[in-house]
Amino acid sequence: MDRVTLRGLKIRGHHGVFEHERRDGQIFVVDLVLGLDTAPAAAGDDLTATVHYGVVAEQVAAVVSGDPVDLIETLAQRVADVCLGHEVVQEVEVTVHKPDAPITVPFDDVTVTITRRRP
């Protein structure tokens, strides 16, 4: 399976369990690895035979900036569902970074990574 990768999508969202996270929001960073067969697109130089990563990026941004959730696990699942909504995408790995998570000790990043596949 081939891969199309988007890294470092930075989107403001209002996710988290604390009231200030919901009220103030914060930047979330999303990485995607889309698994698909790119051979048909390459053979015909045909955008319609592959996934349009610009469209995917916009859809993911709409999810992250949309309805708030408590957990980044839930957010990652919603992003995966959007990606698998593209017929050519057979699997997706989603990493959601929450670099400003409300943790009381010094840290670099908090991430959740999930992999989802078509049945």
Catalytic residues: 98
**Do residues 95 and 111 lie in contact, with contact meaning Cβ atoms separated by under 8 Å?**
yes
> How far is it, in rounded angstroms, from Cα 28 to Cα 16?
11
Structure tokens at 54: 């610009």
